Chain A
Amino acid sequence: NAGVTQTPKFRILKIGQSMTLQCTQDMNHNYMYWYRQDPGMGLKLIYYSVGAGITDKGEVPNGYNVSRSTTEDFPLRLELAAPSQTSVYFCASSYSPALADYEQYFGPGTRLTVT
């Protein structure tokens, strides 16, 4: 059971380039999330998904897009990268938040630098 995996681990982008951050989970979780963590700060929600084909915006969605064609995968797309998107990106997944022992499982993160 690999849990939540993210690729790549590190990436440097030039301003204006695009890229996709990959996230895969093998726990059959319906809920998936993308967060960003800026230096010295807590995590902020970018997008989330409650199941295949269903996504919605979080707190900081500008400059990003997501899709959810399968239960396992939840890629995050950066279009026209900007220095303000330099951050560490975390993907997480969970069962339904209605469960009392609800827990989000996090991937190892992707460190992205835009120069």
Chain B
Amino acid sequence: AQTVTQSQPEMSVQEAETVTLSCTYDTSESDYYLFWYKQPPSRQMILVIRQEAYKQQNATENRFSVNFQKAAKSFSLKISDSQLGDAAMYFCAYRMANAGGTSYGKLTFGQGTILTVHP
């Protein structure tokens, strides 16, 4: 079974600084997708960034970028120029690429990291 681990329950950063959130995962699959979701106090789950395992290039979305290390099964999120609005719980998630069989698009989530941004 796939597992996702976020070893940092809480992180903090000063406004305008850079912070990196860690995520490791375990899978025997070679093709899969990894995601970072943001959950602000409103509880709404917001997709931040997505990485396809067969793509070596790290995904970027504006101030958000990932460091995907497939061999190490590591998937960290870097937030540059942190803003007060970045404060939230961040979840790392995994899903198999094979949509058939028992995959059905199931997302496996890590425990989450609470990010605090100090002004």
Size of the chain B interface, CB-CB below 8 angstroms: 24
* Total residues of chain A contacting the partner, CB 8 A: 27
Chain B: minimal CB distance from A87 (Å):
12
Q: Using a CB–CB distance below 8 Å, which chain A residues touch chain B? A: 31, 33, 40-45, 48, 50, 56, 58, 88, 90, 92, 94, 96-98, 100, 102-104, 106, 108-109, 111
- In the assembled complex, 23 residue pairs joining A and B whose CB atoms fall closer than 8 Å, in A order, are A31-B104, A40-B9, A40-B111, A41-B111, A41-B112, A42-B93, A42-B110, A43-B45, A43-B107, A44-B109, A45-B107, A48-B106, A58-B106, A96-B105, A97-B95, A97-B99, A100-B52, A102-B95, A104-B107, A106-B44, A106-B45, A108-B44, A111-B43
Given contacts A45-B107, A48-B104, A50-B104, contact A96 B99 (CB under 8 A): yes
Question: How many residue pairs between the two chains, A and B, have CB atoms under 8 Å in the bound complex?
Answer: 60
**For A104, what are the chain B residues with a Cβ–Cβ distance below 8 Å?**
47, 105, 107
- Kindly state the separation between the CA atoms of A72 and B15 in the bound complex, as whole angstroms: 42
- Chain B residues whose C-beta falls within 8 Å of the C-beta of A96 in the assembled complex: 99, 105
Question: Which of A42, A43, A45, A94 gathers most chain B CB within 10 Å?
Answer: A42
Q: Which residues of A are found within 8 Å of B103, using beta-carbon distances?
A: 97
Q: Report the bound CA distance from A96 to B106 in whole Å.
A: 11
B33 proximal to A (CB < 8 A): yes
